[in-house]
Amino acid sequence: MRKREFKALLKNKTGCTVQADGWCCGTCFFAIPELNGYPSELKNQLWCSVLNYRGDYSLAQVEQTAKTVKANIIALGKIIRSK
């Protein structure tokens, strides 16, 4: 998923663009209704993937592989779009 498209999905879902270059903040991310019911550990992993994808943290800093980040971003895009 392209960054611009993903960022627009997050913006439309959260209404938040306060972070670097118009990305949503963590508070608004964790309030996404579609993520209610997901375990905290999974939500944290998804948020770390977002932080890496938007360029804030390295893979080592988020303790994920590039494959995991890509899979999480794709899955998150589908989750946000689905409802």
- pTM, two decimals, is 0.91
Retrieve residue 24's tokens: 């949503």
Number of domains within the chain? 1
For residue range 6-36, list pLDDT tens digits in order. Answer: 999 999 999 999 997 899 999 999 999 999 9
For residue range 34-55, list pLDDT tens digits in order. Answer: 999 999 999 999 999 999 999 9
Domain region containing 67: 3-82
- Spatial contact of 77 and 13, defined as CB atoms under 8 Å apart: no
Query: Distance between CA 21 and CA 36 in Å, rounded?
Result: 26
